[in-house]
Structure 1
Amino acid sequence: MSDQSIIRISKELSEIQKDSDLSLAVACRDANVKHVKAMILGPPDTPYEFGFFEFAFDFGKEYPRKSPHVASITTNSGSCRFNPNIYANGRVCLSILGTWRGTRGEEWSSAQGLESILLSIQSLMSSNPYENEPGYEVADGPNDKKNQKDYVQKIRHETLRISVILRLEQYLGIRNDPLIVTRKSRPHPTEDTDSDEADEESVPFEPFEDLCKRRFLWYYDTYLAAAEKGKEEVADGSQFARMPFESGGNTMDGCFCYGELLCRLKAIKVALDAETARWVTEGAAAMTREMTMAANLSRQFEQSVEAFKRDGTPHNIELENGNPFVWLVTYFGKPMTNLDGGLFRFRLLLSPRFPREQPRARFDTPIFHHSISEDGTPCYNVTSSKREDVRCHIEAIIEALEEETPPYDPRIMVHPEAHKLYWGSPEDRKLYNRKLRRSVQQSIE
């Protein structure tokens, strides 16, 4: 691969990683930019909602003159077709990739790149994915309408089961169901793959594990609501309807089991909370052994205390039992806002593997807020350049809490009820404000 190609790919990776887009993530092993993994978060208000869909990119020597090869990894070991254009064997059919015939002007050009491919794939994950099948424009009969509804139902079910539940269970060691196949060689190598790359490392490359765990905590209530809704709409044990375009092994077969999915979602939440609790014990042990990470976090804490004093920040931070892996923050409500007079405490728990594993925050004081889930998990974002600074995480949480006119973004829907009221009708907003003020008053009682 030429230096120009490597520079181009490296720049594209950096731009996506610096972006605040909550629906895309990319990574490569060390400096090997020829092989990239990407994560697409299923778009809100679709059957793919908040699912974790992973793709493998292989860039050839002629990139960007020629498009990369792209394969879907989230296929339940090659057994599930998630879209008319995303096959069970990983094939992604897009005209810009040369894997599907398109009209003039839709083919690949060097002006396109990694992000444009990801956005094109994401656009396939629509509220009615049946329409991606060729000939859909004439599919308006009663059977077609039923197929569209049935297709949405089974995609919603398998999004929960495969892209969310199986993935998190694998990360947490809850089950042994295969989700990501570890390969010694790619099934679809580019023609100009270097011979010295024939043998890949046997250790699986899982760059999105921490991201998926944190996002699961964000969207837990939404996952539960989707499973509850599905349980009401279809009977457990009923078979998936096979679509006209599904055949052979390129299908999405199975049966509905929403009751089981609900139990498994709750078990994942328990396991994640237990994992976070273990960080406290591991952190205390690291402090006792005077490990480098403990010393680093202690130094960051001291610097943060001084910075808060210097900036005149009224909030207080302390360590729980002197453990630098558990930061306690007391937040004082901002004057002249709905938070005025409130006294809220949240804790920031840090992993001994920080910053590879990012902090997990939880409000101890209940609060009704669109950016904080029912169990107290705040939704906030820190840019890649600041993720190693713990104080930036605290400031980002406070910023999300105090933001007075946030833009509408369904990707931050971590408290469905509060989110719906906040961005609803004027009457809904009034009810939201009353509930928020009630939680503020209760915080000081």
Structure 2
Amino acid sequence: MSNQTILRISREITQIQQGSDLSIAVACQEKDVRHVKALIIGPHGTPYEYGFFEFTVNFGSEYPSKPPKVEAKTTNGGRTRFNPNIYATGKVCLSILGTWHGERPGEEWSSAQGLESILWSIQSLMSSNPYENEPGYENAKGTEDKRLNDLYCAKIRHETLRIAVIQKLEEALGIQSDGSLATPAPTTSQWGSEDDEQDESQEDPLEMQSKLKFTPFRDLFKRRFLWYFEHYMCTIEEHSPKNRDGSDFSKMPFEGGGNTMEGKFRYGELGKRLVRIKEVLRDETNGWAVEGSALKERESTKAAGLQRQFVQLPDYLRRKKLHNVDVELENDNPFVWIMTYFGKPSTHLDGGIFKLRIAVSPRFPGEQPRVKMETPIYHHRVSKDGVVCYFPKEADQLRNHIVSIVEALEEESPPYDPRTIVHPEATKLLWGSESDKKKYFRQLRRSAQKTTEE
């Protein structure tokens, strides 16, 4: 492969990683950019909603003259076909990939296209009418076709939760089938080693072997799960009455030959597994503080670096004119930052005093902080149980996280972005009718007022 081709692939990867599209992600190991792992998060309003769908993208020496080879990896071990165009074998049928022959001009591959356009094309398959993706069913609009599409969506929705959400998180957290935890094994991520001070020469050979597995999206799975947890539970609440536990999935006319989606509805079990995942994530987050305290006692460079970031923060906040923010360390632990946010004058949060807990991983920035609002607030960027949805521009400095949290709390007329729905009820009000919007801001102001009433 020529240097020019490698540079182009590297540029395309960087463009996606530095972009603002929250529904796709890519990663590769530095030693070989030809082999890329990609993640597509299922679009809002579809049966794939907020599922984590992984793909491998392998670039050949003829790229960009010829498209790369793409394989779906979220297939339940080759047993589940998630779409007429995404097979259980991992095959992705798209005209731009040369795996399907489109009928319209311009659908074939061209060197002007690239990795991002491929991922967008795959994401477009994850529609609210996936039944119509099957050749010969494109114009299926009759009553029977609508019924079949609804039945198809029903099982995709269930399996998205089971396979593309729950299985991903259970694997990432080491949760076994009985709910117990397996002994965690270290793995590499796109950010490098898990402990900058660990003496690898003393590691067990089995642990060293486990590090060879490249799992770049584990932290993303965890953070997004916390964002979307309420949505997942609402999905179960809405659809479990329509699909009795133990009832079989309906088989589609085009399914067969092992390329199917078979199974039974078990929403009751899925709900319990979701709750267990959240419990384990809570315990993992709390464990960071204990692990971080031990690192401070050892005077580790990681702890010293975070301490230095904390010491430098007040000057940075003054330069940013963020006079309504105060930050301190919990028990002098640089891995737990307690942020106090004072509602900005002349806003709906005016007069409010809100405390937030910023838990920092000993593997930061490989694992990103988890931020929870400890003071109740009714806000479209804060889940009912306090998880804050925000996006730091430069994730390796905690000061940028502080600034981005403030920006998230203070935005009052943001553009609608379904990828950031962490409080479905508040979101529905804010982007509803004028009456709904007024109700949203009344509840927001009321939550600010309550902070000074006790």
Q: TM-score range by the shorter chain?
A: over 0.9
Letter of the 2:437 partner, please give it.
R
Deviations for 1:168-199, whole angstroms, at most 9, x for unmatched residues? 0011111269xxxxxxxxxxxxxxxxxxxxxx
Aligned partner of 2:336 among 315, 326, 338:
326
Secondary structure in structure 1 of the residue aligned to 2:303:
helix
Aligned partner of 2:361 among 339, 351, 362:
351
Separation of aligned partners in 1, 2:67 and 2:177: 36
Secondary structure in structure 1 of the residue aligned to 2:347:
coil
The CA deviation at 1:20 is: 1.1
Letter of the 1:372 partner, please give it.
V
> 1:89 aligns to what?
89
Secondary structure in structure 1 of the residue aligned to 2:419:
helix
> 1:307 aligns to what?
316
Secondary structure in structure 2 of the residue aligned to 1:136:
coil
Separation of aligned partners in 2, 1:258 and 1:216: 18
Separation of aligned partners in 2, 1:141 and 1:411: 32
Say whether residues 1:422 and 2:423 are aligned partners. Answer: no
Deviations for 1:47-95, whole angstroms, at most 9, x for unmatched residues? 0000000000000001000000000000011100000000000000000
> 2:268 aligns to what?
259
Separation of aligned partners in 2, 1:31 and 1:278: 33
Separation of aligned partners in 1, 2:417 and 2:141: 33
Q: How does 1:233-248 map to 2 (within 5 A)?
A: 233-248=242-257
CA contact (8 A) 1:65 1:110 kept: yes
The CA deviation at 1:314 is: 2.6
Which blocks of at least 5 consecutive residues in structure 2 are unaligned?
A: 179-208
Secondary structure in structure 2 of the residue aligned to 1:159:
helix
The CA deviation at 1:242 is: 0.6
Separation of aligned partners in 2, 1:405 and 1:158: 35
In structure 2, do the counterparts of structure 1 residues 138 and 50 end up closer, same or farther at CA, with 3 Å as the change threshold? closer
Separation of aligned partners in 2, 1:208 and 1:149: 31
> 2:409 aligns to what?
401
Separation of aligned partners in 1, 2:350 and 2:118: 46
Separation of aligned partners in 2, 1:140 and 1:423: 30
In structure 2, do the counterparts of structure 1 residues 101 and 310 end up closer, same or farther at CA, with 3 Å as the change threshold? closer
Say whether residues 1:75 and 2:75 are aligned partners. Answer: yes
Letter of the 2:167 partner, please give it.
L
Say whether residues 1:367 and 2:371 are aligned partners. Answer: no
The TM-score normalised by the length of structure 2 is: 0.91
Separation of aligned partners in 1, 2:156 and 2:173: 24
The CA deviation at 1:248 is: 1.5
Letter of the 2:330 partner, please give it.
E
Separation of aligned partners in 2, 1:246 and 1:433: 49
Separation of aligned partners in 2, 1:336 and 1:140: 52
The CA deviation at 1:319 is: 0.2
CA contact (8 A) 2:132 2:139 kept: no
In structure 2, do the counterparts of structure 1 residues 289 and 135 end up closer, same or farther at CA, with 3 Å as the change threshold? same
Letter of the 1:388 partner, please give it.
D
In structure 2, do the counterparts of structure 1 residues 413 and 138 end up closer, same or farther at CA, with 3 Å as the change threshold? closer
Separation of aligned partners in 1, 2:452 and 2:38: 45
CA contact (8 A) 1:170 1:176 kept: no
Q: How does 1:27-426 map to 2 (within 5 A)?
A: 27-103=27-103, 104-175=105-176, 203-312=212-321, 313-383=323-393, 386-426=394-434
Judge which range, 398-407 or 292-301, deviates more: 398-407
Separation of aligned partners in 2, 1:335 and 1:360: 27
CA contact (8 A) 1:20 1:381 kept: no
- Alpha carbon RMSD of aligned pairs, Å? 1.4
Separation of aligned partners in 2, 1:391 and 1:372: 20
CA contact (8 A) 1:2 1:61 kept: yes
The TM-score normalised by the length of structure 1 is: 0.93
Letter of the 1:157 partner, please give it.
H
Deviations for 1:387-408, whole angstroms, at most 9, x for unmatched residues? 1100100110110110122101
The CA deviation at 1:232 is: 1.5
Separation of aligned partners in 2, 1:176 and 1:305: 47
The CA deviation at 1:227 is: 1.1
Number of aligned pairs?
A: 421
The CA deviation at 1:310 is: 4.5
In structure 2, do the counterparts of structure 1 residues 301 and 241 end up closer, same or farther at CA, with 3 Å as the change threshold? same
Judge which range, 218-227 or 29-38, deviates more: 29-38
The CA deviation at 1:334 is: 0.7
CA contact (8 A) 1:315 1:329 kept: yes
CA contact (8 A) 2:324 2:343 kept: no
Separation of aligned partners in 1, 2:326 and 2:452: 16
The CA deviation at 1:201 is: 8.9
Identity over the aligned pairs, expressed in percent?
60
Deviations for 1:372-431, whole angstroms, at most 9, x for unmatched residues? 101111111123xx1110010011011011012210111110001100000000010111
CA contact (8 A) 1:56 1:70 kept: yes
Secondary structure in structure 1 of the residue aligned to 2:334:
strand
In structure 2, do the counterparts of structure 1 residues 330 and 138 end up closer, same or farther at CA, with 3 Å as the change threshold? closer
Separation of aligned partners in 2, 1:297 and 1:414: 29
Secondary structure in structure 1 of the residue aligned to 2:438:
helix
> 2:186 aligns to what?
none
Separation of aligned partners in 2, 1:318 and 1:56: 43
In structure 2, do the counterparts of structure 1 residues 344 and 434 end up closer, same or farther at CA, with 3 Å as the change threshold? same
